[in-house]
Amino acid sequence: MSTPEPSHRDSSATRQPVWYIPHGGGPCFFMDWNPPDAWHAMQRFLQGISAQLPQRPQAIVCVSAHWIEPTFGMGSGEKPELIYDYYGFPPHTYQLRYPVAGAPWLAQRLKELLNRAGIPANLHPTRGFDHGMFIPLKVIFPEADIPVVQLSLLAGLDPQAHLEAGRALVPLRDEGVAIVGSGMSFHNMRGYGDPRFGPISDTFDHWLTAAVEADQEIRDQRLIQWEQAPAASLCHPSRADEHLLPLMLVAGAAGMDSGRRVFSDRVMETTLSAFRFG
């Protein structure tokens, strides 16, 4: 049985905040790691998100760094399968389950909002949930009882295009829909575990935090020009910057709401942060 579509004009709904969260390294929260406590602080942060919501979401839109399409795409299946798009991890991590329902009605609503803003978008009825979605949401909402639609990034990774797409989705927040951007605020695979990248990641993180916490117009302009930030190319090398782009989309969906850093930790010698808007 499919999940019923809620009203788009629910005046009793409380506006949902939007989040940019780190999704960790592969299935890191569900396996042993060295050092053993490497991901504990991030896991505790993710576990605490649901208690900070103004009310239980009717549904979730998750923008994952691990899905890129030529045109914005949204999964529209009722029971999407999981995509284990990580490699070299223990066998049990390929048996993880997250039996959450899709939300075809919400996928159609996403397409409608994007098209209304002049942004092409396509439904993907057979697309599954990749680990950028199911790993963090399994920590945040372990009961898997809130339907989810996964939204892709746009090929080319243009920051302004993602901000504009996010702006088109602002109405969802008043319809009981939570919007989550899943990526990593530092994502240079050669930098993880290298102590030389500690100060480098700090430099970029300080800039990113200041950009997110600025007034909306300044915030948007800085995020559009993020490649000019200090240490930007070292923290997000060219053609590997997809993990920052979910932030641009959720910043657009924030509208005029202010942003702030709500989590930061040193993991694998680098600083990783999360941000909330609204």
Tally of domains in the chain: 1
**Interval 185-227: pLDDT, tens:** 999 999 999 999 999 999 999 999 999 999 999 999 999 999 9
Those residues with Cβ within 8 angstroms of residue 227's Cβ, 6 or more apart along the chain or in another chain: 233
Lowest mean pLDDT among 153-157, 230-234, 240-244, 259-263: 240-244
**Interval 21-62: pLDDT, tens:** 999 999 999 999 999 999 999 999 999 999 999 999 999 999
Percent of the chain with pLDDT over 90: 94
Question: Is 167 within a domain?
Answer: yes
Question: Is 6 within a domain?
Answer: no
Confidence class for position 1, pLDDT limits 50, 70, 90: very low
Question: Is 122 within a domain?
Answer: yes
Domain limits for position 233: 18-277
pLDDT given for residue 255 in this prediction: 97
Q: How far apart are CA 74 and CA 64, in angstroms?
A: 11
Q: How far apart are CA 178 and CA 161, in angstroms?
A: 21
Confidence class for position 238, pLDDT limits 50, 70, 90: confident
pLDDT given for residue 6 in this prediction: 53
Question: Is 254 within a domain?
Answer: yes
Question: 139: domain CATH number?
Answer: 3.40.830.10
Q: Smallest Cα–Cα separation from 248: which of 183, 197, 191? A: 183
Print the SS3 string covering the chain: CCCCCCCCCCCCCCCCCEEEEECCCCCHHHCCCCCCCCCHHHHHHHHHCHHHCCCCCCEEEEEEEEEEECCEEEECCCCCCECCCCCCCCHHHHCCCCCCCCCHHHHHHHHHHHHHCCCCEEEECCCCECHHHHHHHHHHCCCCCCCEEEEEEECCCCHHHHHHHHHHCHHHHHHCEEEEEEECCCCCCCCCCCCCHHHHHHHHHHHHHHHHCCCHHHHHHHHHCHHHCCCHHHHCCCCCCCCCHHHHHHHHHCCCCCEEEEEEEEECCEEEEEEEEC
Are 128 and 83 in contact by the 8 Å Cβ rule? The answer is yes
Confidence class for position 12, pLDDT limits 50, 70, 90: very low
Question: Is 96 within a domain?
Answer: yes
Question: Is 11 within a domain?
Answer: no
Confidence class for position 10, pLDDT limits 50, 70, 90: very low
Give the global pTM: 0.94
Question: Is 1 within a domain?
Answer: no
> Is residue 13's pLDDT more than 80?
no
Question: Is 5 within a domain?
Answer: no
Beta carbons within 10 angstroms of residue 169's beta carbon: 24
